[in-house]
Chain A
Amino acid sequence: MGLAYEFDWGVLWRNPYGMYLLQGIWVTIKLGLIGWAIALSLGVLIGTVRISPWRWLRLIGTAYVEIFRNIPFMVQLFFWYYAGPMLFGEALQYRINSIIGLNYYVAIIALGMYTASRVAEHTRAGFSAISRDHYYAALSTGLTHPQMYRHVIIPYALRIIIPPLTTEFLTIFKNSSIAMTIGVLETTFMSYKIDSETFHGLESTTGACLIYLALGLVVVRLMGILESRLKIPGMIGR
């Protein structure tokens, strides 16, 4: 075996490193949850727009999805963070750049907008999985369009898209780690910071891995409860 490496797992809880990780977890959760709120509302909107009867609206929806999905998230993050303020012109640029915690806001919005493109795809696919006759069946009994969407189509589509959205919800926490590249002090950043102060990166990153695994288990458990409450009896879930 190569270098004599002495493990020091104490970096996971010793002062101040344990505190670093706790702060990181809190930031990761905030990034994930607020980003998810943006992603869900924007994504469902764009997904719905993509199946609307208006051609130019569909076009905008398609363009959004293609742009956000074909550029790596880190590049998007850099663009919004470094180039974003410049887009507002010289005068505003300096004021925007002086906002405290700008990188946090950019990270949350960029994460939300990126994930929205994926949510939009699942939404679109969910609605397209419902046959035209299913819409007609509801209308033929005399339901109005709003009633049809409210009682028949949306509850049905929701049940189709919840499993893929669960996966996206898990992914947003993982992707939030990329926010460290613009200096957001989330879990991955903190594990790296511990390395730079102690040279025990192996232990700190292993600890961070366990944190993400635990977070993932919690999310899966929560979504499992939601899915079982909404599942359609007799139809196989995932």
Chain B
Amino acid sequence: MIQIKDMSKWYGDFQVLKDITEEIKQGQTVVVCGPSGSGKSTLLRCINGLEPFQKGEIFVDGVSVSDPATNLYKLRTEIGMVFQRFELYPHMTAIQNITLAPMKARSKPRKEAEAKAMELLQRVGIPDKAHEYPANLSGGQQQRVAIARSLVMEPKIMMFDEPTSALDPEMIKEVLDVMIGLSKGGMTMIVVTHEMGFAREVSDEIIFMDEGMIIERGTDISFFQKPKNPRTKEFLDKILI
């Protein structure tokens, strides 16, 4: 589903990503972890073409992201993305947030978009909040609306950029539960997170990044039990307490 080949990215002279190679198959959930500034978030933004990269290639469902002929807008409808700080449109209600893209990017009639949005709000567990503005929702509720906003485009892939790190502890579970449901339902997912419980439960692969490189990868058991790289061990010791 996603192939990344020898991909590198620079901000001016500073190299943020170094020779990233990775393959994610349909239905897999890959968890990416690593210290801040290691390039995890940048990697996600390169996959859906929000940020350009200078070397290597990324294919999403066989389509090259860096090819100038690729319609990035169409590509992005196939990759949902969820952000750390939710990024809901503050001047729109929950349901308006969700229906904007189907109505504008896919020209769906309002009725149809709203019916679909309600179905998704049901699925993330907050159908009663449809007409609330983001500022009146808790962090966990906002993030679930954000997930519904991505799902409404029926993406083939979902990317999560630290979706729970801006949340209060008691709200983390409600968001993770939605993500676990998605993963078990067969969604292809890339999740940047430090929630190792989540990683254990659903991930097919865990990647550890540091200073722009993938320095360790493994299935959950091997990754947690005997990390090969001392940096990985140090990091795991910190976050696993």
Contact = CB atoms under 8 A, between A and B. Distances in A.
Nearest to B103: A151
Contacts of B104: 143, 147, 151
Chain A's interface size range is 20 to 34
A237 to B, nearest CB: 12
B3 interface: no
Interface string B65-106: 000000001101101110111011111000000001100111
Contacts of B106: 142
Contacts of A152: 89, 100
Most buried by A among B77, B84, B90: B90
If over half of A's interface residues share one DSSP class (helix, strand or loop), that class is named, otherwise mixed; here it is: helix
Interface stretch (A57-65, A86-94, A118-126, A132-140): A132-140
A136 B150 CA distance: 12
Interface stretch (B16-24, B132-140, B175-183, B215-223): B132-140
B87 A142 contact: no
Contact of A133 (B48, B87, B136): B87
B76 A142 contact: yes
A141 B91 contact: no
B79 A151 contact: no
A134 B91 CA distance: 13
B87 A131 contact: yes
B153 interface: yes
A139 B50 contact: yes
Given A133-B83, A234-B134, A235-B135, A141 B90 contact: no
A142 B156 CA distance: 13
B131 to A, nearest CB: 10
Nearest to B78: A142
Nearest to B101: A141
Contact of A156 (B45, B48, B50, B91): B91
A10 interface: no
Given A152-B89, A232-B135, A235-B90, A137 B76 contact: no
Contact of B136 (A141, A143, A233): A233
Contacts of A232: 90-91, 133, 135
Contacts of A141: 76-77, 80, 100-101, 105, 149-150, 152-153
Interface in B154-183: none
Interface in A190-238: 232-235
Contacts of A156: 89-91
A143 B105 CA distance: 5
A151 B101 CA distance: 10
A234 B135 contact: yes
Contacts of A233: 133, 135-136
B100 A140 contact: no
A144 interface: yes
A136 B45 CA distance: 8
Contacts of B134: 234
Nearest to B45: A136
B73 A131 contact: no
Interface in B184-227: none
Interface of A: 131, 133-134, 136-144, 147, 151-152, 155-156, 159, 232-235
Given A137-B88, A139-B73, A141-B149, 15 more contacts: A131-B87, A133-B84, A137-B87, A139-B50, A139-B76, A141-B80, A141-B101, A142-B73, A142-B105, A143-B73, A143-B104, A156-B89, A156-B90, A232-B90, A232-B133
The 9 A-B residue pairs with the shortest CB-CB distance in the complex, in nearest-first order: A234-B135, A142-B77, A137-B87, A141-B101, A140-B81, A142-B105, A234-B136, A233-B133, A235-B135
7 contacts: A133-B87, A136-B45, A137-B81, A139-B76, A141-B77, A232-B133, A235-B135
